[in-house]
Each structure stands twice: as C-alpha cells, then as structure tokens.
Amino acid sequence: MEYKYKTSGTCSQEIIIEIEKDIIKKVTIIGGCAGNTKGISTLVEGMKIDDVIYKLKKIPCKNRGTSCPDQLARALEQIKEYNKRR
C-alpha cells in the first residue's frame, strides 16, 4: 500500500512510502538534499517499519528539531497507528 506524508520543519516537502505488511518496499522523498534523501531511501528498503523508526527517530538537522530521517520515522509511526485502527 502507498502512503503520502507531508513533512514539517525540513527542506523536503513530502515522503511517499510503499509498504507490504510491515516491510518498506520503496521510499521517495520529495525535496531535501538529493544525495542524502536517495541514500536514506535506498538504505531503508526491505527493512521492517519498527527497525527504521528505532534507527531514525529524533535525528536532528541543524537546529530544526527534526530532519528528513526523523520525518520518515514520524511518517512510519503514523502509518502504524492508521493500520491499527483499520
């Protein structure tokens, strides 16, 4: 299933995530630092949602209090909550 998440506090604007069961199949980050966002996307493909949240949550970028990796973790947390309610 594909999910879209509008980011906040980062250079990126949106994260598109494809998930099958609890495995991340594909991540596309719109905006942000191209090399970093492509690297993050490639690294998390094939990983379990909980593992990615654990590794990326609360990573800061400058003094923003968040980052593209942190926003991905937040998006995954929302997806988990959404799927619990379904």
pLDDT in tens, 11-46: 999 999 999 999 999 999 999 999 999 999 999 999
What pTM does this model have? 0.95
Confidence of residue 50 (pLDDT cuts 50, 70, 90): very high
pLDDT for position 86? 82
Give the number of other CB atoms < 10 A from CB of residue 21. Answer: 9
DSSP E strands: which ranges in the chain? 2-6, 12-20, 23-31
Task: Give per-residue pLDDT as tens, 38-48.
Answer: 999 999 999 99
Contact 76, 17 (CB under 8 A): yes
Handedness of CA 19, 4, 63, 58 (dihedral sign): negative
pLDDT for position 68? 96
What are the chain's domains? 2-85 (3.90.1010)
